[in-house]
Amino acid sequence: MRRAIQQIAYFAPRLRNNYCGRIDNHQCHRFQSTASATNQQSNDKPKLILSESCSRKLKEISEKENKKYLRITVDGGGCSGFQYLFDLDDKVNEDDVLIGDGSGQVVIDTLSLDYCSGSTVDYHNELIKSGFRIINNPKAEMGCSCGASFSIKIE
């Protein structure tokens, strides 16, 4: 229970400071949003690392799906407090960061990047399932056994 309170105490002010509170077309608009989507090389935050298997799968998907991006979002929920969500998207929003080369890119919003910067995006293939996952997240204190959710380190 104490950990949940710490996470709420950490998460709530960040939302208050980063978002204006207006919701138009189901999208939040940032106070500091002045430029369109930025490329990771121009961003001062630590980057996400794409594994070889992730890059190969992204290129394969991009060829089949006609230039789709892998969208990564960190959302509240899961058994550990926060969860990773993966989706294919063809849109890049104002507060998104593009990661990767031209034929297989990851799109992540800046708030989600705050919770997983320095992590590795991997594509894992097992007998019973396959899919993208985040591994080696330096911001995660612990996670569930399936790897879909995590709790953040309180600094």
Q: pTM above the 0.85 mark?
A: no
Q: In what order do the strands lie in the sheet with 149-152?
A: 38-39, 96-99, 106-109, 69-76, 82-89, 149-152, 140-143
State both tokens at 83.
Answer: 């969860």
Neighbours of 128 (CB within 10 A): 4
pLDDT in tens, 103-136: 789 999 999 999 999 999 999 998 988 999 999 9
154 pLDDT above the threshold of 50: yes
Pairwise CA distance, residues 35 & 83, whole Å:
28
Q: Give the model's pLDDT for residue 145.
A: 67
Identify the CATH class of 35-152: mainly beta
According to DSSP, the residues that pair with 153 across neighbouring strands are none
33 pLDDT above the threshold of 60: no
Nearest to 114 by CA among 21, 3, 11, 30: 11
Residue boundaries of the structural domains of the chain? 35-152
Pairwise CA distance, residues 45 & 118, whole Å:
9
